[in-house]
Amino acid sequence: MSWKLECEQGKLAPHETRVILVRHGQSTFNTEGRYQGSSDESVLTEFGRNTARQTGEFLNGLSIDALYVSSLRRALTTASEILAQIYPSIDPTNIHVDRQLREIDLPAWHGLYHQDVQKRFPEDYHCWKQHPDRFIMLDPNTKKQSYPVRDLYDRANQFWQHTLPHHGGETIMLVSHAGTIRALISTACNLSPGDYHSLRQSNCGISVLKFSQKNITEPQLEVLNYTEHLTAQLQTSTV
């Protein structure tokens, strides 16, 4: 827990930024084994709310200068539960709802059960798992093709480039999703989209990056998917 002690001391140089990344709590689609993507049907379970509160209790006392949260309900509820436990609270003017932090776009699979996707789209599923950087999806509504993982990495890069310059010498928190947090960590640490599935992020798991404004492409990864603050059984990502 040395990373938390460092956070509590709050001794960042003016050119440094610490980023605390938190995945949302368990959702209804998590328990049902369904793909969520960027759809907004899924909501937190009571278990998910409880672990979000545990996360807030654990982070209580840290000096957090700004909060950025995904625009999807499961992340917004998680952030609300965390904020209710944190003292000192974050200035409301420094709370930002950001669509760039929403989950990966998987329009053809939204709401489908994992086992059904494997049966109905075996070739696509194989590519998704083995070669995520090459994975293509056709939107059933717009009929447009996209590269979901590549697009997510582009979005993550844009978030870093736009956000970090505003927070020199500060600690900020992001509440987002498993896939998006993977992309944020990967783009920061120069990991390829082909390695998308190599990272895991549990519900309410905490990861921490420390950036230097002098070189934002080589941050220090202080902790990855920390879950020791949670007392209940965890659910890792299946995105």
Give me the active site residues, please.
Answer: 24, 103
Q: Which tokens go with 177?
A: 């999703």
Q: Which residues pair with 209 in a beta bridge?
A: 19, 221
Q: What share of the chain is helix, strand, coil (3-state, %, to 5)?
A: 40, 20, 35
Task: List phi, psi (to 5°) of 82.
Answer: -65, -45
Among residues 32, 96, 29, 47, the alpha carbon closest in space to that of 69 is found at 96
**CB-based burial label for 185 (10 Å; 0-12, 13-18, 19+):** buried
